[in-house]
Amino acid sequence: MAYIVVEGRVPLQGEVVVGGAKNAALPILAATLLTSDECYIENVPHIQDILSMTQVLTALGAELQWLGPNTLVVRARGLNSPQVPAALATRMRGSFLVMGPLLARFGQAEAPHPGGCAIGTRPVSVDLKGFQAMGAQVERQDGAYRARAPHLWGERLSLDYPSHTGTENLLMAATLARGTTVIENASVEPEVVDLAHFLNSLGARIYGAGTGIIQVEGVEKLHGTAFRVMPDRLEAGTFALGCAVSTGTVVMSAAVGPYLGALTSKLQEAGVDVRIDAEHYVVRSNGRLRAVDIQTFPYPGFPTDLQAPFAVMATQAEGESTIHETMYDDRLHYVEELRRMGARIQVRGQTAIVQGPTPLKGAEVRALDIRSGAAVVLAALAAEGRTVISDVHFIDRGYEGIDRKLAGLGARIKRTENKDAPLDDLPLATRPEANAAPREVPLERPHDVQPGAPAY
């Protein structure tokens, strides 16, 4: 079993490179199924969820090859099967994103109810109702969803709520539908916009992404592309909060700034110095923090994926902070792990009440999901003494080399299978690798298409 070991109370100093956004790369990889041409995708995070998605695509019949640590070529010439293997689907919710592309291009799709982090109810009803409205027959049998349609028709879809995954699935399905599709109450998350940019670079006709109403004019065929995935605002936010709790100065690319408005505002309210110029997003903390209240909400509100890391900052702030989770009904379990380290937190329904400042102490704790895993890492940075974090595979699902990146900022942190060894005796960690080698495609970048987004 792998562990992450941290010796805390070391200020973070320096510049860190933020990787590609997991929540943008997953639907973009699913969207490569919409064309038989080669798609060259840069800035793909090398994390476990992405590796699982590459295995889903390979199982369906796509050809893939990593050209470097973060560059992936995908070509879906044909199809072995329209069925997502159950063993892969249960690993992550993102596996369900292939339903829309499969249905649009091949006329059929089948997938089990998706797995992923245990953070509460996460239905797929928005996706399925949309497929049905566009002309598909959808049924559930033996725990799997099956959808069939000789072709899809453009339709006006009014979503029950602005589902991130639902919007993406329907957006992909609509690109090859006959006629015009209008998606009302669509998600406005930046990752949805990045997917729309990618689809347009394939030849789709999508208008209004980033607003509550998206219009898609269906086309007969999509072509290959070269594209660069947007930076991960959640990884950037994690590093910003890490700086806040450990003191010091952390510098990131200014490209992350436009996506961090809600977090930036709350950091500044708490007394953290955040400055953005043409090139940099700079976070400075002297450790003197004020209590702040937050309530999670879809973008541009405060992101639910940063509320657990934010709770760690609240433990170091003067006064009482309240953290109200509005999006998932089972996302406060991490509180018990922080209590093991001395945090004073009460949970009342969907609200965590945090008393600070509290001196945290090193302890043995668990990563319960991706973001609670990040939270205990940040708590370890703020804590006195040695913290040992288990179940780090959850962290690897969403963060590429978080231990190496934090070590580059000066943190005393390493990954090990010997949790009792002195930190200085531990070797540097290696990244998790794919469980199965992908099929190979030619090692060359497509020269007949233009990148779909600027380099960040």
Are 31 and 158 found together in one domain? yes
Are 326 and 273 found together in one domain? yes
| More confident position, 378 or 69 | 378
- The least confident of 80-84, 105-109, 366-370 is 80-84
Q: How far is CA 104 from CA 145, 147, 198, 422, in A?
A: 16, 10, 17, 55
- The least confident of 142-146, 151-155, 190-194, 223-227 is 142-146
Peptide bond into 300 cis (omega under 30): yes
Query: Could you tell me what percent of the chain has a pLDDT over 90?
Result: 81
pLDDT surpasses 70 at 383: yes
pLDDT surpasses 80 at 434: no
Please, are residues 159 and 119 in contact by the beta-carbon 8 Å criterion?
Answer: no
Are 374 and 236 found together in one domain? yes
pLDDT surpasses 60 at 455: no
Q: Is residue 432 part of a domain?
A: no
Q: What is the mean pLDDT of the chain?
A: 90
What's the confidence (pLDDT) of residue 428?
Answer: 54
243 among known catalytic residues: no
Cα-Cα end-to-end distance for the chain? 36
pLDDT surpasses 60 at 119: no
Q: Is residue 443 part of a domain?
A: no
Q: Is residue 451 part of a domain?
A: no
Please, are residues 262 and 301 in contact by the beta-carbon 8 Å criterion?
Answer: yes
Spatial neighbors of 410 by CB under 8 A, at least 6 apart, are 10, 11, 12, 13, 14, 248
Give the C-alpha separation, 275 to 268, whole Å. Answer: 10
- The least confident of 139-148, 160-169, 347-356 is 139-148
pLDDT surpasses 70 at 430: no
Q: Is residue 455 part of a domain?
A: no
At 84, which amino acid appears?
V
Number of domains in the chain: 2
For the stretch 192-250, pLDDT in tens is 999 999 999 999 999 999 999 999 999 999 999 999 999 999 999 999 999 999 999 99
What's the confidence (pLDDT) of residue 87?
Answer: 84
Are 41 and 12 found together in one domain? no
- This prediction has a pTM of 0.91
pLDDT surpasses 50 at 118: no
Are 133 and 213 found together in one domain? yes
What's the confidence (pLDDT) of residue 420?
Answer: 87
User: Whose CA is closest to 377, among 321, 327, 338?
Assistant: 338
Look-up: residue for tokens 């109403």? Answer: 213
Query: Looking at residue 399, which CATH number applies to its domain?
Result: 3.65.10.10
Selecting among 117, 236, 338, 345, the annotated active-site residue is 117
What's the confidence (pLDDT) of residue 92?
Answer: 75
- Edge-first strand order for the sheet with 225-228 is 63-68, 71-75, 38-42, 225-228
User: Last residue of some domain: 200, 228, 256?
Assistant: 228
Please, are residues 325 and 351 in contact by the beta-carbon 8 Å criterion?
Answer: yes
Number of C-beta neighbours around residue 446 at 10 A: 17
Are 182 and 290 found together in one domain? no
User: Whose CA is closest to 149, among 203, 106, 209?
Assistant: 106
Are 219 and 306 found together in one domain? no
pLDDT surpasses 80 at 454: no
| Cα dihedral 160, 164, 168, 171 in deg (nearest 10) | 40
Average pLDDT over residues 104-110: 95
Are 211 and 252 found together in one domain? no
The three-class DSSP label of residue 199 is helix
Q: Is residue 437 part of a domain?
A: no
| More confident position, 287 or 328 | 287
Are 204 and 267 found together in one domain? no
Q: Which domain holds residue 383?
A: 3-19+232-417
Please, are residues 104 and 85 in contact by the beta-carbon 8 Å criterion?
Answer: no
Q: Is residue 456 part of a domain?
A: no
Are 209 and 245 found together in one domain? no
- The least confident of 89-93, 123-127, 280-284, 302-306 is 89-93
Highest mean pLDDT among 86-90, 324-328, 371-375, 437-441: 371-375
pLDDT surpasses 70 at 179: yes
What's the confidence (pLDDT) of residue 447?
Answer: 34
Q: Is residue 429 part of a domain?
A: no
User: Whose CA is closest to 28, among 219, 194, 244?
Assistant: 194
For the stretch 88-102, pLDDT in tens is 887 777 889 999 999
User: Whose CA is closest to 52, among 97, 119, 15, 2?
Assistant: 97
